[in-house]
Amino acid sequence: MFGAGGTAGSRVTTEAFNRGHRVTAAVRRPAATSYLPAGVSLVTADATSGQRVRELAPDADAMVVTIGGGERGLWLNAARTLVGTLRGMPAAPRIIHVGGGATLLTPKGTRFLDEPDFPEEYRDAAQGQADALDFYRSSADGVSWTYVCPPPLEFHPGERTGTYRTGTDQPVTDHEGRSVLSYEDLAVAVVDEIESPRHENARFTVAY
Q: What is the mean pLDDT of residues 103-117?
A: 96
pTM here is: 0.95
Q: What is the mean pLDDT of residues 19-44?
A: 91
Q: Could you read off the pLDDT of 38-73 as tens digits, one per residue?
A: 999 999 999 999 999 999 999 999 999 999 987 899
DSSP 8-state symbol, 107: T
User: In the chain, where are the structural domains located?
Assistant: 7-207
Q: Mean pLDDT of all residues in the chain?
A: 96
Q: What angle do CA 79, 82, 83 make, to 5 degrees?
A: 80
Q: Could you read off the pLDDT of 152-161 as tens digits, one per residue?
A: 999 999 999 9
Domain 7-207 CATH superfamily: NAD(P)-binding Rossmann-like Domain (3.40.50.720)
Q: Which of 176, 10, 12, 207 is CA-nearest to residue 104?
A: 207
What band does 4 get if pLDDT is binned at 50, 70 and 90? very high
Q: What is the mean pLDDT of residues 109-120?
A: 95
Phi-psi label, residue 142: left if phi above 0, alpha if psi -120 to 50, beta otherwise:
left
